Structure 1
């Protein structure tokens, strides 16, 4: 699995710590981590949580990433930003129980973590436990056991509803503020990671036109 890490500006100072913990947990599982930044509060490319949503949607819909780990101070803005786009199902995850139940019941492809909450001594341990439960036990298996069938059925119903009410990403991006979109793609490693991993040619071509 290709896991993308995205930090917005208010929590950019924690990017290196989050990346270190994420890699520690998921690389032994066989997953890859691609850090799209922000890498520090002083980065030239400043991301808002709305831009987190734009970037996450491009990565997930293009196949450049299979999963996105992101967040903001409370995690709420990032969750709303990501869930505004097609092809993204983002859960708000504060602890290991949230991570496990979201993975097994909701079977999403992104999480928004409140990086400013409980951010004192031991925060890296909380993140470690979150990533273990999020990526270490598969997903969509249901919880508890007797609820597996209705939970999986509800996931399919949600997918059909979202497919009906949401337009394709390639139609949405050209209608957004183009400075906002270009800013979401301005990270110093975006071109390196995206073009090496993306699979959807329509989105690749659109991104190339935006980056030109």
Structure 2
């Protein structure tokens, strides 16, 4: 599985800690981790709005399979990611959130609160969150006897989102202020992840047109 980690300006200083814990869990599982957001406060400036655009490009182009994002509270990142087609983002404060999201909702993104409650033992909480998010059978249900309706509801949610967002994804992307999209795709590490793994030539060409 290909996993993108993206962090915005308010919490960029914590990127090394978050990345270390993510790699600690993901590497033994043979997952590839791409650190595509801000790596420190001096990196190119991103907000949680940019994270939504980045996540949608990576997910819809199939450049990655899963996104881990966040902001101070995690709420802004969750709302921003969920605005976009194909992105199903859960809100995660602790390992049980990650476990239940994995088992019940089987989405493709998590928004973490990197400021709220980020104190003593924060790295342990991150490690355990990533363990629960990245291991186990996705969509297995919890409790197990609830699997059938939970799987059905996840499918219905996908259908409703597709109905609400009827337009072609590229058309939706083009309707966003180009300056926002350009900023979102300007990072060198994002571009490497996107262009090396993108499976949609039209999306790749549009991104190239913005940064050329």
Which residue number in structure 1 is paired with residue 172 of structure 2?
172
**Following TM superposition, where does structure 1 have runs of at least 4 consecutive aligned residues deviating by more than 2 angstroms?**
none
CA distance in 1, matches of 2:191, 2:52: 18
Structure 1 stretch displaced more, 169-178 or 120-129 = 169-178
Which residue number in structure 2 is paired with residue 104 of structure 1?
103
Give 5+ residue unaligned stretches, structure 1.
Answer: none
Q: Secondary structure at the match of 1:60?
A: helix
Which residue number in structure 2 is paired with residue 41 of structure 1?
41
Give 1:168 shift: 2.7
Give 1:34 shift: 0.3
Q: Secondary structure at the match of 1:65?
A: coil
Q: How does 1:56-205 map to 2 (within 5 A)?
A: 56-166=55-165, 167-205=167-205
Give 1:191 shift: 2.1
Which residue number in structure 2 is paired with residue 19 of structure 1?
19
Give 1:138 shift: 2.6
CA distance in 2, matches of 1:188, 1:16: 17
Give 1:120 shift: 1.2
Give 1:20 shift: 0.6
Q: CA RMSD in A?
A: 0.9
Contact 1:5 1:70 in 2 (8 A): yes
Give 1:26 shift: 1.1
CA distance in 2, matches of 1:168, 1:65: 20
Give 1:174 shift: 1.3
CA distance in 2, matches of 1:137, 1:48: 32
Q: Secondary structure at the match of 2:199?
A: coil
Give 1:28 shift: 0.4
Contact 1:86 1:168 in 2 (8 A): no
TM-score (norm 1): 0.97
CA deviation string 1:27-80 (max 9, x = no partner) = 10111100002011111x211101100000000000111000010000000000
Aligned length: 211
Give 1:169 shift: 2.0
TM-score (norm 2): 0.97
